[in-house]
Amino acid sequence: MKNTDWDIYRCFVTVARTGGVTGGAPATGPSPAPGGRRVLGLGGGIGRSPLIRSPTGYTPAGGGRFLFEQLQEMEAAARKVESWQKEGEGATVVRIAAGTWVSWLIAENFPAICTERDAFNISLTIGEARANLAYRESDIGIRAFEPEETYLAARPVGEVAYAAYRQKNAPGGVERWVAVAEEDAISAYLRWPHEHAPGRIVATVTRPRSLLDLARAGAGRAVLPCFVGDPDPPRGGGGDETAPPRPRRWIVINNEDRHRRDIRTVVDRMTRFLRSHTDLFAGKRPPRNSA
């Protein structure tokens, strides 16, 4: 493997993360098929295939797991050097990983996090999976539980309440539900309709953001965070039938990064902003439009 291009290693890391050979191809330059063959060809250097194929895609196997871990550490080191260089130049990127609705709230109030006077930019990664800061894929994460990892520092920013929302006078009354598809329902509130109203789900989507649109359109009831549903019109009968867990949100950062000026600035601003919405998160504020 001594003559292997670094681009192939980067391609391997991308494939291992995304599960797809096509997703890793851009890192190598050639088209997906040759790029994929070069990634799979890494097995010649470790005595076995570094990836195994399953119905959900490719995953690291055997020596590939060790290779994946080592390459992630190399990536993390490279990111630290890059951040150090950019900080010296006065232009850095702060990477935030958050769920759909917290990301939506941040985007709606972006000037509270980053202004035109700041020397840094923001990169916001949106997804329901747990933010992983071990290999510096993100600088800041928002989680629904206190982290157990010893290398992370955390700040609590309040509980989040959930309720069922629907458009007033929508057809079907309270019997129709909309939900995220079961295989994509990672969080407890996304699983709630599947566990409590499985025979009444009339539409599913792959992303939580579309639940609000479906509720607004009168398609059915949707389980949403109260800070999303309370200020919005579709709340006829909201909150009277569902009570998913009320997880506390935490801002998490890597201990080694908490003294970086740009990251500390963003964390302080996010903490102030999210804590200022504590009552709304907890479902204690009345909606602007009562049903």
pLDDT in tens, 194-227: 999 999 999 999 999 999 999 988 899 999 998 9
Mean pLDDT, the chain, whole residue set: 79
Say how far apart CA 192 and CA 185 lie, in whole Å. Answer: 9
User: For the chain, which ranges sit under pLDDT 50?
Assistant: 1, 23-33, 237, 239-241, 287-291
Instruction: End-to-end CA distance of the chain: give it in Å, rounded.
Output: 65
Instruction: Give the pLDDT confidence score for residue 291 in this predicted structure.
Output: 35
pLDDT in tens, 253-269: 988 888 888 999 999 99
The pTM assigned to this predicted structure is 0.67
Instruction: Give the pLDDT confidence score for residue 160 in this predicted structure.
Output: 92
User: How far, in Å, are 175, 188, 190, 212, 234 from residue 204 at the CA level?
Assistant: 15, 16, 11, 12, 18
Q: Which residues, 6+ apart, have CB-to-CB distance to 188 below 8 Å?
A: 244, 245, 247
